[in-house]
Amino acid sequence: MSMPSAVETSQPAGAWRVVGASVRGVSHIKADLPCQDAHVWRDIPGGAVVLAVADGAGSASLSQLGAARAAVAATEWVSELMKGTWPKNDDEWHGLLLATLETAHDAVKTAAKKRKAPPRELASTLIVLVATAELVAAAQVGDGGAVVLQRDGSMYALTSPVRGEYVNETIFCTSDNYLKSAQFSVWHGDVAGVAALSDGLQHLALKLPDNAPHAAFFTPLFRLGAESLDARTAEKQLRDFMQSDRITSRADDDLTLVIGTLPHP
């Protein structure tokens, strides 16, 4: 039984509004391949949210399973750990994120063992964001990107796409050396929103190589997340945008984007 390309929870019951979508890329449609991206989010009691985006390797036969398993394991781990107490300083946030990546790595390897498949066949990247009104903690293995929006409208990249030794090569959370290339970031400020995206969108969303977020790309999407009162309608609008000619003419890979916003107090 195949896993869904996007793994989603229900609309958060707390203050955070989250909308996300994973869609098949043009190249995957032509080749009759499934969407190999996955995304998950969970509301955390007390005013936090955890988001995960995973991008399965195009050359791996079970990468959609690996991406889904990594994203689910990461969000479940953070949600369970933060039920009791939250990290108190940057070192504790780093420790939480490190343990999250290790948990996702082990979960994918376990899934591979159950399928009697090499872990590389479930290879995927992984981005995890934990956001509150005052900070965002981020971890990333591989390419893609994570962005924070401040109340004053300014945007900052929390991570940058990680490339391997060769063109179009990246690092996966199933790799033996995944922690050596992992990125960790704890950003403090007046948080209005966060975003996580797979590498199919990074050339449209980020000004490479300096990695600055494109305001023209993100501003209407953050507005969609903040102003929409119906999760299904917002998801449809986001999906329509990602499948529009404006996007697919410039990006043929699978696409994932998750936007989280906090209403003004």
Query: Is 7 contained in some domain?
Result: no
What separation in angstroms does the CA of 245 have from each of 89, 122, 249? 44, 30, 5
- Chain centroid to Cα 10, Å, comes to 17
In the three-class reduction of DSSP (H, G, I as helix; E, B as strand; rest coil), residue 124 is classed as: strand
* Sequence-separated (6 or more) residues with CB below 8 Å from residue 8: 20, 39, 40, 41
Query: Is 11 contained in some domain?
Result: no
In the three-class reduction of DSSP (H, G, I as helix; E, B as strand; rest coil), residue 163 is classed as: strand
In angstroms, the CA 255 to CA 131 distance is: 22
Query: Is 175 contained in some domain?
Result: yes
Q: Residue 3: its pLDDT value, please?
A: 33
* Sequence-separated (6 or more) residues with CB below 8 Å from residue 116: none
Q: Residue 265: its pLDDT value, please?
A: 56
Query: Is 173 contained in some domain?
Result: yes
Q: Residue 202: its pLDDT value, please?
A: 93
Query: Is 41 contained in some domain?
Result: yes
Q: What single-letter DSSP state applies at residue 12?
A: P
How many separate domains does the chain show? Answer: 1
**Degrees, nearest 5: CA angle 69-74-76:** 95
| Pairing outcome for strands 135-141 and 255-261 | unpaired
| Pairing outcome for strands 255-261 and 17-23 | antiparallel
Query: Is 4 contained in some domain?
Result: no
Residue 18: both structure tokens together: 């989250």
Helix (H) or strand (E) holding 220: helix 215-227
Peptide bond into 209 cis (omega under 30): yes
| CATH code of residue 68 | 3.60.40.10
In angstroms, the CA 55 to CA 68 distance is: 9
Say if pTM beats, i.e. exceeds, 0.85: yes
pLDDT along the chain (265 residues), means of 10: 36 73 91 92 95 93 95 97 94 98 97 95 97 97 96 95 61 92 96 96 90 95 91 94 94 94 79
Query: Is 8 contained in some domain?
Result: no
Measured over the CA atoms of residue 229, residue 230, residue 231 and residue 236, the dihedral's sign is: negative
Query: Is 22 contained in some domain?
Result: yes
In angstroms, the CA 226 to CA 17 distance is: 7
Q: What single-letter DSSP state applies at residue 56?
A: B
| Spatial contact of 47 and 132, defined as CB atoms under 8 Å apart | yes
Residue 150 lies in domain: 17-261
- Chain centroid to Cα 163, Å, comes to 17
Would you tell me how many other CB atoms lie within 10 Å of the CB of residue 71?
A: 31
